[in-house]
Amino acid sequence: MLKRSFLKTTVALATLAWGAAHAADTPLKFQLDWRFEGPAALFVHPEQKGYFKQAGLDVTVEAASGAGAIQRVASGTHDLGFADLAALMEFHANNPDAPIKPVAIMVIYNTTPASVMALKKSGITKASDLTGKKMGAPIFDAGRRTFPLFAQANGVGDVQWSTMEPQLRETMLVRGDLDAVTGYTFTSLLNLEARGVKREDVVVLPYATHGVQLYGNVVIASPKLLAEKPEAVRAFLKAFARGAKEAIANPEAAIASLKAKDGLVNAPLEVKRLNLTIETAIDSQGARTEGFGRLRPERLQKMAEQVTNAYTTKNPVPVGAVWNGSFLPTAAELDILPKK
């Protein structure tokens, strides 16, 4: 009888302890920049593997729907997000009185993945060939927004722009309605392949190798979260780095985690997309020189000046308010790129 009572008490205490531990998990809502595609696996993999849970966090990774990550975090509905640094700079410059201004806390794409893409049959082989051509991209496309920098760096004259929904961009290029498009390489190149275009028949002019040294996507956070729960922010970035290291080393496993979250994921396609993302935006020379997750203040300052001019913002970008690197994990924990 005593033994049975002891066992019941032990089980009850264990249940209470488990409940208390999980009740103490800090809830965090994270907004992606797009759908559950290849790059999203960087964040979904540590979620699915339980790394955030092990760090005392209850993280929900959500696909973008409607408003982007900057708007979600700025509105207070989300704590963290994944967003283009140039767009974040624009938000700060144009909304100085916004009550919540998201802050970049980790660099994921050390170089912008934006590029100009054209079909070889167009005759376009170099940047200067774009002068006078018909170009297209969604109005919010990062490559389109920063095209003035690309044009200035490469002597490109006036071009004619067409605007469309994202899903029509590559279709219009293949159809011949456009001479070239801007977009993230890992998105547009695979979309063109899906439309029957061979990779060798596409001319890719990456911004990063054509004089445009912008940082790309970053992790952003609410300043309220940074002030009130700094340890949760540090725990998030540390757990993310752990999962991202695995995702970069084994893209197939990372996409398996993505498919576990969203059964509609086309695994073979998204493995290719993640590999292309790693190749073009994550494992870059800049990331190896500056260190994954980090940035150089002088490069950030130059980018702020470029964004102010290219985006014709209402005010100069307040570079000191846009970035806070004090929550980053240690150098050893950020050593996630493959050894070469």
pLDDT at position 135 is: 98
Pair 134, 149: CB distance under 8 Å: no
Q: Which residue has the higher pLDDT, 156 or 10?
A: 156
Query: Does pLDDT of 20 surpass 80?
Result: no
**Per-residue pLDDT band at 67 (split at 50, 70, 90):** confident
Q: Which residue has the higher pLDDT, 18 or 98?
A: 98
Pick the CATH number of 27-111+215-322 from 1.10.274.100, 3.30.1360.80, 3.40.50.40, 3.40.190.10: 3.40.190.10
Start-to-end C-alpha separation, the chain = 64
Q: What is the mean pLDDT of residues 28-44?
A: 97
Domain spans, the chain: 27-111+215-322, 114-209
pLDDT at position 97 is: 97
Q: Which of 19-28, 107-116, 123-132, 254-263 shows the lowest mean pLDDT across its residues?
A: 19-28
pLDDT at position 180 is: 98
Amino acid code (one letter) for 157: G
Query: Does pLDDT of 302 surpass 70?
Result: yes
Q: At the topology level of CATH, where does 114-209 sit?
A: D-Maltodextrin-Binding Protein; domain 2 (3.40.190)
Maximum C-alpha span of the chain: 90
Which DSSP string corresponds to 169-232? HHHHHHHTS-SEEEEEHHHHHHHHHHTT--GGGEEEEEGGGTT-----EEEEE-HHHHHH-HHH
Please give the Cα distance from 30 to 28 (Å, whole number).
6
Pair 191, 141: CB distance under 8 Å: no
Q: What percent of the chain has pLDDT over 90?
A: 90
Query: Within the chain, where are the H helices?
Result: 2-23, 41-48, 51-54, 69-75, 85-94, 142-145, 147-154, 169-175, 185-194, 223-228, 230-249, 251-261, 267-277, 285-290, 297-310, 319-322
Query: Does pLDDT of 12 surpass 90?
Result: no
pLDDT at position 5 is: 52
Q: What is the mean pLDDT of residues 190-218?
A: 96
Half-sphere exposure of 36 (CA within 13 A, CB side): 19
CB-based burial of residue 228 (10 Å sphere; 0-12 exposed, 13-18 middle, 19+ buried)?
A: exposed
Q: Which of 120, 152, 155, 84 is nearest to 322 (CA)?
A: 84
Q: Which residue has the higher pLDDT, 85 or 140?
A: 85
- 166-180: b or e for each residue (b if 16 or more CB lie within 10 Å)? eeebbeebeeeebbb
135-152 residue pLDDT tens: 999 998 999 999 999 999
CB-based burial of residue 234 (10 Å sphere; 0-12 exposed, 13-18 middle, 19+ buried)?
A: middle
Query: Does pLDDT of 10 surpass 70?
Result: no
Query: Does pLDDT of 96 surpass 60?
Result: yes
Residue 169's alpha-carbon distances to 19, 110, 172, in angstroms, are: 49, 25, 5
Q: Which of 46, 67, 69, 71 is nearest to 58 (CA)?
A: 46
Q: Which of 8-12, 159-163, 231-235 shows the lowest mean pLDDT across its residues?
A: 8-12
**Per-residue pLDDT band at 18 (split at 50, 70, 90):** very low
227-250 residue pLDDT tens: 999 999 999 999 999 999 999 999
Please give the Cα distance from 154 to 78 (Å, whole number).
39
Q: What residues are paired with 117 via a beta bridge?
A: 181, 204
Q: Which of 183, 167, 165, 190 is nearest to 270 (CA)?
A: 190
Does the fold of domain 114-209 match that of domain 27-111+215-322?
A: yes
For helices 41-48 and 251-261, the axis angle rounded to 10 degrees is 70
The structure's pTM equals 0.90
| Structure tokens, 39 | 């790059």
Q: What is the mean pLDDT of residues 205-223?
A: 97
If one counts every other C-beta atom within 10 angstroms of the C-beta of residue 22, the result is 11
